[in-house]
Amino acid sequence: MNSIIKIVNDDFLHNAPLICAIIACVLAQVVKPFIAVVMGYKFDKHMFITTGGMPSSHSSTVTALTTSIAISQGVGSVAFAISLVFAFIVMHDAMGVRQEAGKQAEVINEWSKILSQIHEDGLFNQEHLKTMLGHSFSQVLAGLVLGLLVGIVGTYLII
């Protein structure tokens, strides 16, 4: 048991890239509902745990991870190369595939409303799809900036 505690204390708690990534993800999720209110939307507690919104928690997470690896292991390390490629894929996916899937969900939901009105006899079951799946460029950029800040500050505080 003592060896497990020692591993957690020595390895896990001093793993700057991992800690920075976790902090960036949690921080991005915590601020989402409040930024939405500032932008004119009503407060939605579900935004604490959902995808989409400002800032992109996926972008902040992978950016904090990559930044911390760059600082702690160097930009010539294999870990940095893997993390950088991973970050580009995640951010591209957030702006591309997931954003388009959200747009398609909006259209399907609208069709669902129309079909529901046509089939008022109850044979059609209307089920809404989640439309806030992806991110705009500004949401990804905000996540990137948040991740950079957490990665830089967090790494220097941990190492």
Does pLDDT of 93 surpass 90? no
Each residue's pLDDT tens digit, 44-72: 888 777 777 788 899 999 999 999 999 99
Does pLDDT of 1 surpass 80? no
Whether this model's pTM surpasses 0.75: no
Calpha distance 96→92 (Å, rounded):
6
Buried b (16+ CB within 10 A) or exposed e, 53-64: bbbbbbbbbbbb
